Amino acid sequence: MSASEEAKPDRKAADSPPILVSACLLGETIRYHGGHARCEHPALERWLAEGRVLSLCPEVAGGLPTPRPPSEVADAAGGEAVLAGRARVIEKSGGDVTAQFLTGARLAQALVRKHGIRVAILKEGSPTCGSSYTHDGRFLGVHIPQPGVTTAMLLQEGVRVFSEAQLDEAVACVEALDRSA
């Protein structure tokens, strides 16, 4: 299944909502440079075995190819400004890919609404998936404390978004949500 297709959860318990996970963290070679960012963590393996993971690459789902030029949100604005129409997502080569980023974010939003997703594990630093930081739009490696476009959309939907570096926190959140269901 490609990263742009919706994965169908095969969950054991209907009251356990799926967890949205960046496809690159699951080993899919869909990152801008054509590689992946596989994250091996016991919780991810367990959730995969339970059929709780929905895999998505918002950039690919939004219509961008792999590989593709690196992109950043211009003017250190962050994903919230893109959603509000106050900022653009620009490729290092100068192309405007805002429309594709917004399409990918809307597809993630649709998955959240359709499947009752409350937790997402997304690739840190990405202009679409970054949760605690993205880049400043100058392609110099400067981090800013702004969410990516899809992360900003999911936060507006009430989804708890974690990076691959926060998997232990994500596990605690998922377990607490499961207990309260």
Cα–Cα distance, 140 to 17 (Å, whole number): 39
Among 1, 33, 2, smallest CA distance to 123 is for: 33
pLDDT digits (tens, 9 = 90+) for 94-119: 999 999 999 999 999 999 999 999 99
The pLDDT, as a whole number, for residue 88 is: 98
Q: Which residues pair with 120 in a beta bridge?
A: 20, 161
Q: Which residues pair with 21 in a beta bridge?
A: 55, 121
Distance from the Cα of residue 154 to its chain's centroid: 9
Residue-wise DSSP of 97-159: -HHHHHHHHHHHHHHHHHHT--EEEE-TT-TTT-SS-EE-SSSS--EES---HHHHHHHHTT-
pLDDT digits (tens, 9 = 90+) for 12-68: 445 689 999 999 999 999 999 999 999 999 999 999 999 999 999 999 999 999 999
